[in-house]
Amino acid sequence: MFDTGNTGFMLLATSLVMLMTPGLAFFYGGLVGRKNVLAIMMQSFVSMGVTTIIWWAFGYSLCFSGDVGGVIGNLDMAFLRGIDLSTPYAGTAKIPLFVFVAYQMMFAIITPALITGAFANRIRFGAYLIFLVGWLVFVYFPFVHMVWGGGLLHQWGVLDFAGGIVVHAIAGMAALASVFFVGRRRVKEIGMHSIPLVALGTGLLWFGWYGFNAGSELAVDAVTGQAFLNTDIAASFAGPTWMLLAWIFEKKPKFTGLLTGAVAGLATITPCAGYVTANTAVLIGIASGTVCYFAVSLKNRLQWDDALDVWGVHGVGGILGTIALGVFASKAVNPAGADGLLAGNTNFFLVQTAAALGAGVYAFAFTYGMLWLINKLTPVKVTEDEERDGLDTALHGEKAYDDDLAASPEV
């Protein structure tokens, strides 16, 4: 009944996307100071458990079952009711629905974890758990339904191959709202404590992104290969572009710039991956490295304390990629897609632009309001003493490194 090749590929793609969350934890963990490594990594890892529980209980159903006003699904498939071993995924009927449920669950796990880099070292764990659940229910699930679940944006003709709107734009704009709400860090960190950890995290993210983008075709065909190739090309052009700009303006070709630029390229190509040519992916990679670099520079000049540049990389990258899709999309690449502005389809370009900007505005506004409400229930921000001590020991009673042992003389 099911195609074993497609099913096996989707299980592999699901595993790759799952690996991205630990990759993100290493990426963020290396960027913060040594007293806050475990706290930032835990915020990623805890999503793997909490989001899975919510997804099984009602998240999948709200995203992909029924329709309420074009905005959200219903609870007909809560607790995966009505799904058994023989239930096919309706989109292709070539893979079991259970596989699609698992694949989409991995997207749900990593998306709120992306936001955590913005408020590094400043948010209490209990408040974060409330934030995680609320943000999934009121931001992530509605946009999944509206774009991928047959809802309003899908009906308008919006395309998003693997999550430019659904993942990066809304997470990045939510990150910016979080920065404005929690304010600046009161205790200055010396700097990144482990660039090798950042490199490891980047490698895991880049590797997992092939499942993220190529897997979003939900089958093995020519579009799958195109999405895979586009993913690598965009990252490979964006990283050196960022590095070159840093070399020009900061006088040094920085390794972290190369790594951050690659991630920006991955985020930006995500909505376009299965709808554009490889040559277009080159342009998108260069544009991503350039635009995201200057977005981060602007953030620094404005003194927004987005600690790990979530807005500049994911928010700006996701919006840029979604709008670029409106320009460069081609049915010659994917007949199930659309032709973009360059092919004379102005309406598609306008729809993509409006959807990207509208999603960003909603995510920003709702996130800020939700944090304000959570703060009424329990303090969101840590105290200055907790920030000074480091969140690893102050909130979790653990340390990533035994400093006393490291400081002791060799015997």
Check: CB of residue 203 under 8 Å from CB of residue 23. yes
Residue 407 belongs to some domain of the structure? no
Predicted confidence at residue 411, as pLDDT, reads: 39
Q: Which one-letter amino acid corresponds to residue 211? A: G
Q: Binning pLDDT at 50, 70 and 90, where does residue 15 land?
A: very high
Average pLDDT over residues 257-285: 98
- Residue-wise pLDDT for 16-26, tens only, equals 999 999 999 99
Closest by CA to 377, choosing from 44, 133, 121, is 133
Check: CB of residue 280 under 8 Å from CB of residue 328. yes
Of the listed ranges 11-20, 170-179, 211-220, 402-411, the least confidently predicted one is 402-411
Compute the residue count for the chain. Answer: 411
Residue 405 scores a pLDDT above 60: no
150: left (phi over 0), alpha (psi -120 to 50) or beta: left
Residue 408 belongs to some domain of the structure? no
Residue 149 belongs to some domain of the structure? yes
- Residue-wise pLDDT for 81-106, tens only, equals 999 999 999 988 799 999 999 999 99
Structure tokens given for 70: 């074009």
Report the C-alpha gap between 31 and 189 in whole angstroms.
Answer: 11
Report the C-alpha gap between 60 and 54 in whole angstroms.
Answer: 8
Alpha carbon 48 to its chain's center: 14
Structure tokens given for 188: 């200055």
Residue 410 belongs to some domain of the structure? no
Q: Binning pLDDT at 50, 70 and 90, where does residue 402 land?
A: confident
Q: Binning pLDDT at 50, 70 and 90, where does residue 404 land?
A: low
What is the extent of the structural domain holding 376? 4-402
Predicted confidence at residue 188, as pLDDT, reads: 83
Residue 383 belongs to some domain of the structure? yes
72: phi then psi, degrees, rounded to nearest 5: -150, 160
Residue 409 belongs to some domain of the structure? no
Average pLDDT over residues 130-158: 98
Residue 411 belongs to some domain of the structure? no
Report the C-alpha gap between 171 and 22 in whole angstroms.
Answer: 17
Task: Count the Cβ atoms, other than its own, within 10 Å of residue 332.
Answer: 10
Average pLDDT for the chain: 95
SS (H, E, C) the chain: CCCHHHHHHHHHHHHHHHHHHHHHHHHHHHHCCCCCHHHHHHHHHHHHHHHHHHHHHHHHHHHHCCCECCCECCCCCHHHCCCCCCCECCCCCCCEHHHHHHHHHHHHHHHHHHHCCCCCCCECHHHHHHHHHHHHHHHHHHHHHHHHCCCHHHHHCCCCCCCHHHHHHHHHHHHHHHHHHHCCCCCCCCCCCCHHHHHHHHHHHHHHHHHHHHHHHCCCCHHHHHHHHHHHHHHHHHHHHHHHHHHHHHCCCCHHHHHHHHHHHHHHHCCCCCCCCHHHHHHHHHHHHHHHHHHHHHHHHHCCCCCCCHHHHHHHHHHHHHHHHHHHCCCCCCCCCCCCHHHCCHHHHHHHHHHHHHHHHHHHHHHHHHHHHHHHHCCCECCHHHHHHCHHHHHHCCCCCCHHHHHCCCC
Average pLDDT over residues 346-353: 98
Give the count of domains, the chain: 1
Task: Count the Cβ atoms, other than its own, within 10 Å of residue 306.
Answer: 25
Report the C-alpha gap between 340 and 329 in whole angstroms.
Answer: 5
- Residue-wise pLDDT for 295-320, tens only, equals 999 999 999 999 999 999 999 999 99
Supply the CATH number for residue 350's domain: 1.10.3430.10
Percent of the chain residues past pLDDT 70, beyond the cut: 98
Residue 248 belongs to some domain of the structure? yes
